[in-house]
A and B are shown apart, each in its own frame.
Chain A
Amino acid sequence: MDSTVMKVDNPQVNFNTINDLKGLMPVYHQEYDTFYLRGEKPRPATSYDLNGTAWLRVDVESGDIVGLQIDDFESVFLKKYPELAKAWKEVKPLCVRPKSRKCPVDAEESFLLIIINFLLTLFRDNPQQESFIFLPA
């Protein structure tokens, strides 16, 4: 069957907003082994796959990055990037849902900086992918 390629009108991710993640809250959902950076009340957003490593949560209108999701966080991600595992060990008890109210801000901020620096490196090494959807002619 012939097929055509349709370029869809999706938001361009505004990578300049990556540093906004610093103001978000780390949350770990142990049962689903999923790590999130999100606001106290998560915003509606679409998701952008970053090289199979993480999902960036992106505002559909502005393209601003409003959150982060990493699937298989302990089972795959930390094994792939062991340099983050040590920092995670210290921060994990503060991030497991339901979130502790006694979270030391310094430890949380340090971990956020480590994660964001890691993402910035990942962006540099992986240019943005286009999104195409294949449709029948």
Chain B
Amino acid sequence: MIFQCRDRGNVSVVCSRECWEIHILADHPEMEGCETYVKAAIENPYQVYQDSKDINKKIIYKPFILPKPYNQQYLRVAIEYKFKKFRGLRGYVLSAFPCINIKKGDILIWTAL
């Protein structure tokens, strides 16, 4: 496991080593060394969006958190929430990468402002 933390709704969120290395770093090498920023964004987001296509997915945006040259952009983190009988509700990081703009179609459900 790369990290485990709690989102702003106090739900446990896990980032597995497999997801981080095989999915995130393999296709987004700019995220090398950015685990702590992803964790910080989950714990203290700027905006939270509901994925328009999957009710179990939420998207977190946090601007100005990544190091240069991505320091003026958003960090976007997608989390899938699953309910298991003994573990209860838990979130799993699906993707994390810098982006210039917010994805059209997703639904804003919470903002820090």
Q: Which stretch from A16-24, A39-47, A102-110, A115-123 is at the chain B interface?
A: A39-47
Of B29, B54, B94, B113, the residue contacting A32 (CB under 8 A) is: B94
What class of interface size applies to chain A in its complex with B?
Answer: 35 or more
Label chain B's interface by main secondary structure: loop
Q: List B11-41 residues whose CB lies under 8 Å from chain A.
A: 23, 26-30
Q: What chain B residues lie within 8 Å of A44 (beta carbons)?
A: 28-30
Q: Spell out A's residues near B (CB within 8 Å).
A: 1, 3, 8-11, 13, 27, 29, 31-32, 34, 36, 38, 42-49, 51-52, 55, 58, 60-61, 69, 71-72, 75-76, 129, 131, 133-134, 136
Q: Size of chain B's interface in residues, with CB distance under 8 A?
A: 29
Q: Which stretch from B2-10, B68-76, B83-91 is at the chain A interface?
A: B68-76
Nearest neighbor of B111 in chain A, beta-carbon distance: A134
Of A10, A32, A49, A60, the residue contacting B103 (CB under 8 A) is: A49
Q: What chain B residues lie within 8 Å of A75 (beta carbons)?
A: 53
Q: Spell out B's residues near A (CB within 8 Å).
A: 23, 26-30, 52-54, 63, 69-70, 72-74, 76, 94-95, 97-106, 113
B73–A52 CB distance below 8 A: no
On whether A3 and B99 interact (CB within 8 A), knowing A32-B23, A38-B27, A42-B27, the answer reads no
On whether A1 and B113 interact (CB within 8 A), knowing A42-B26, A42-B29, the answer reads yes
7 A-B pairs besides A46-B98, A49-B101, A69-B27 with CB distance below 8 A are: A8-B73, A9-B72, A32-B95, A42-B29, A44-B30, A47-B76, A55-B99
How far is B76's CA from A127's CA once the two chains are assembled, in angstroms? 23
Listed residue (A3, A36, A43, A72) with the most chain B CB atoms within 10 angstroms of its CB: A72
Q: What chain A residues lie within 8 Å of B102 (beta carbons)?
A: 49
Of A13, A42, A76, the residue contacting B53 (CB under 8 A) is: A76
A122 to chain B, nearest CB (A): 12
A43–B29 CB distance below 8 A: yes
Interface pairs (7), CB distance under 8 Å: A10-B72, A10-B100, A29-B23, A32-B95, A34-B95, A47-B100, A72-B54
Nearest neighbor of B105 in chain A, beta-carbon distance: A52
A8 to chain B, nearest CB (A): 5
